Amino acid sequence: MAEDTSDFGHVPVLADRCVTLLTPALTRRHPDGSGALLVDATLGAGGHAERFLTALPGLRLIGLDRDPSALDIAASRLAPFGDRVTLIHTRYDGLAEALAESGYPATGSVDGVLFDLGVSSMQLDRRERGFSYAHDAPLDMRMDPTAPQTAADIVNTYDEAALADILRRYGEERFARRIAAEIVRRRRGTPFTSTGQLVEVIYHAIPAPARRTGGHPAKRTFQALRIAVNAELDSLESALPVALNALADGGRVVVLAYQSLEDRIVKRAFADASASRTPTGLPVELPGHAPQFKSLTRGAERADDTEIQRNPRSAAVRLRALEKIRPHTEHDAQAARKGDR
């Protein structure tokens, strides 16, 4: 999703690592991926999808994206793979419905799921979308341009307390109250229509010493509004259980997160999925209480210097992955001691 000189202009983050983690699940039936299904829940420009489809000529892929322009770009990029690819316009929390639309059960039908979260550089590069604080543009920030609410709607209609709450919760902005108060004061005269107007207000609301550290003063506010406009965290919290439920035994899920709020949600969901349900203190694993998933990463993996130099967007990435465990027999479950796992 970061800039490159290729025809499609974007480099998928940690693509090699994603291929390494997901391929064992996609090649369980056949080395070329025949019979396997991969869901790319955040298709974007199709860079990750192209890597998998090229490496595994028998693989089928369902690609989801809420952005129609991204789907158009991906459709062109993935056209050589023909009917092995199905593209669906939906948020990733619509995964179960997308599977049903494609003729697959919502439970146990998928071999791999990939989430590459956040805003793509493709969206950032298009000034008219209003995601970037670096260029003056309409105050929009919708990943799906057909969605009803824009960033301008929030900035112009939410009361001061609600604005401050959004900036604090989604942007972790310590000057949230000051910024919200300045927004409300300024909009009484002229409603906000552009990113440039908002950047100016943020600049004046944040004390000068604070503006000199921590990056661009508008960074946290723009993140918060983007998350609110697109309901990103609510969508992620809904999507992860659906994705885990969709996995077949031996299936795998990989998530790339780029900011701490996303990663906390992923970390919590993955920890819960890989935890034993047997009460603490019992010497054996109770039947039906063993973990359903195991972690494939030790904590969150980060990009190395070589990856970051090749693709600067990867500097912020945190990668986590799980595998669905094949259920043990009752005899195995009774014999397994919790301390031996």
Known binding site for S-adenosyl-L-methionine: residues?
Answer: 46-48, 65, 92, 116, 123
Buried b (16+ CB within 10 A) or exposed e, 108-125: ebbbbbbbbbbbbbbbbe
Give the pairing of strands 293-295 and 318-324: antiparallel
Q: Would you give the end-to-end CA distance of the chain in angstroms?
A: 38
**Residue 228 neighbours by CB under 8 Å, 6+ apart:** 154, 166, 170
Query: Residue ranges for the binding site?
Result: 46-48, 65, 92, 116, 123
CA pair distance 34, 120, nearest whole angstrom? 30
Within 10 A of 172 (CB to CB), how many other CB atoms are there? 14
Q: Per DSSP, what are the bridge partners of residue 10?
A: 3
